[in-house]
Chains A and B, each alone.
Chain A
Amino acid sequence: MEVRQQRILYIDPARCMGCRACETVCKLENDLPAGPRYTMVTEAETGEGETEKLNFLPVPCQHCGDAPCVRACPTGALHKREDGVVLTDRRKCVGCHECLWACPFGVPQFASDGRMSKCTMCVHRLDEGTLPACAANCPAEAILCDTVENISRILRERYGKTVFCGPFADRLNGEAAR
């Protein structure tokens, strides 16, 4: 399948305000016990003095095109579905943790049974035709879930809106009128 048609979770950290609604609905949707978190709002400080800022970045599974976890899994428990979603077959998982060492984003989670589980992009919801819980419930619309080409279209539309309806719109429209 072409990467452009792969389904991804797109995160816009500029919109994220760190409310952790995604974490909460994810836990409820996937009925997770204490411990594993399929998505985690991660904080990073930047700048100094007056420019000092706390940034937020929700980190769910990135469902990579060439996923290192799928390559690292020795039992074939991890696989990539036709639409690009990386899924775990928990019956095949032996709990060797190779996926966690391979994942650059620290996504694989291990519950008390020691087997790996991770963000499934809420496949049960996708198959019903609804959005993943995090994307559907993000109040800032910072999380989008769609194919790569559709997300590209949405981002262009958003950019267009900021240009023509945003804070600089007057100046720009004035220049256009002149």
Chain B
Amino acid sequence: MKRLSFDPARCSLCGACALACSLSRCGRPEPAESRIRIECAGPDEPLRSAVCAHCEQPACVSACMRGIIEKDEKSGLVTRRWENCFACGACAVYCPVGASSQEPSKKAFTACDLCGGDPLCVAVCPSGALRFEEDAEGSARRRSAYAGRFFGSGGDKAQERPGLPSQADWERIASAVGGRLGVAVDPESLADACSRQRKAWEEEGM
């Protein structure tokens, strides 16, 4: 199955993914409530994405006391009927990747559902750190990038963090988010919200 693939070396920590996710799934620009969060354990630790991995042996399915989390054998997705959730938090406690997030009402836990097969976070990611791809594709792309760096043939030489999105990037992000929500979104306000998020991250030591 296709999954959200995260490449820590390409992430610029711009925060567009979390902002777009919270806007489209929670209806407000609160990256902390997003179903995808970019995290880091400390200043020298690698970045990681806390987002539902749709595990093969999902701990949340066995942890859920209401039995409303299921692994769909056909599609491979971990699905939640979160309308019946009583927010015990067992899924959040047992999730190995920290993917559970709370609904805006705080009455239920939920997680990434891959936007039904067209994830908005991937559409907005300006540096290509987030992709929606098969395992084999991701593996082959990383191997070729490594071979390219090894022989110095370029392609993917950048090992430093890529730069923050440009004005043109923000306009593209705004049109992607606006297209999903069906309203016009102001690129300036998106950039402002993301810079506030980055300040919060900097204070946390990322």
List A residues at the B interface (Cβ < 8 Å). Answer: 13, 35, 40, 42-46, 55, 57, 59, 68, 71-72, 74-75, 93-98, 100-110, 113-115
Provide the residues of chain A in CB contact with B7, threshold 8 Å.
101
Q: Is the CB of A96 within 8 A of B97?
A: yes
Q: How far is the CA of A94 from the CA of B58 in the complex (A)?
A: 7
Contact of B56 among A13, A35, A40, A114 (CB under 8 A): A114
Provide the residues of chain B in CB contact with A71, threshold 8 Å.
46
Q: How far is the CA of A98 from the CA of B142 in the complex (A)?
A: 14
Let me know if B5 is at the binding interface, CB within 8 A: yes
Q: Is the CB of B135 within 8 A of A100?
A: yes
Q: Is the CB of B147 within 8 A of A44?
A: yes
B17-25, B47-55, B169-177: which one contacts chain A?
A: B47-55
CB nearest neighbor in A for B49? A101
Contact of B142 among A94, A95, A104 (CB under 8 A): A104
Q: List 20 A-B contacts (CB under 8 A).
A: A13-B150, A44-B150, A44-B155, A55-B151, A57-B147, A59-B147, A74-B97, A75-B96, A95-B53, A95-B55, A95-B56, A95-B57, A97-B3, A101-B5, A101-B8, A102-B48, A105-B142, A105-B146, A106-B140, A106-B141
Provide the residues of chain B in CB contact with A46, threshold 8 Å.
151-153
Let me know if B26 is at the binding interface, CB within 8 A: no
Q: Is the CB of B48 within 8 A of A94?
A: no
Provide the residues of chain B in CB contact with A72, threshold 8 Å.
46, 48
Let me know if B167 is at the binding interface, CB within 8 A: no
Q: How far is the CA of A98 from the CA of B155 in the complex (A)?
A: 24
Q: Is the CB of A108 within 8 A of B139?
A: yes
Q: Is the CB of B144 within 8 A of A44?
A: yes
Cβ of B135 to closest chain A Cβ, rounded Å: 4
Q: How far is the CA of A75 from the CA of B87 in the complex (A)?
A: 24
Cβ of A54 to closest chain B Cβ, rounded Å: 10
Q: How far is the CA of A44 from the CA of B143 in the complex (A)?
A: 10
| Known contacts A44-B144, A94-B59, A95-B56, then 6 further A-B pairs from the complex at CB < 8 Å, ordered by chain A residue | A55-B147, A93-B57, A100-B135, A101-B8, A101-B49, A105-B146
Provide the residues of chain B in CB contact with A35, threshold 8 Å.
136
Let me know if B148 is at the binding interface, CB within 8 A: yes
Contact of A106 among B49, B76, B143 (CB under 8 A): B143
Provide the residues of chain A in CB contact with B151, threshold 8 Å.
13, 44, 46, 55, 57
Provide the residues of chain B in CB contact with A97, threshold 8 Å.
3, 5, 53, 135
Q: How far is the CA of A45 from the CA of B153 in the complex (A)?
A: 6
Q: Is the CB of B135 within 8 A of A57?
A: no
Contact of B143 among A105, A113, A115 (CB under 8 A): A105
Query: Most B CB atoms within 10 A — which of A40, A109, A114?
Result: A114
Among B111-160, those with CB < 8 Å from A are 135-136, 138-148, 150-153, 155
CB nearest neighbor in B for A56? B147
Provide the residues of chain B in CB contact with A107, threshold 8 Å.
139, 143
Q: How far is the CA of A93 from the CA of B58 in the complex (A)?
A: 10
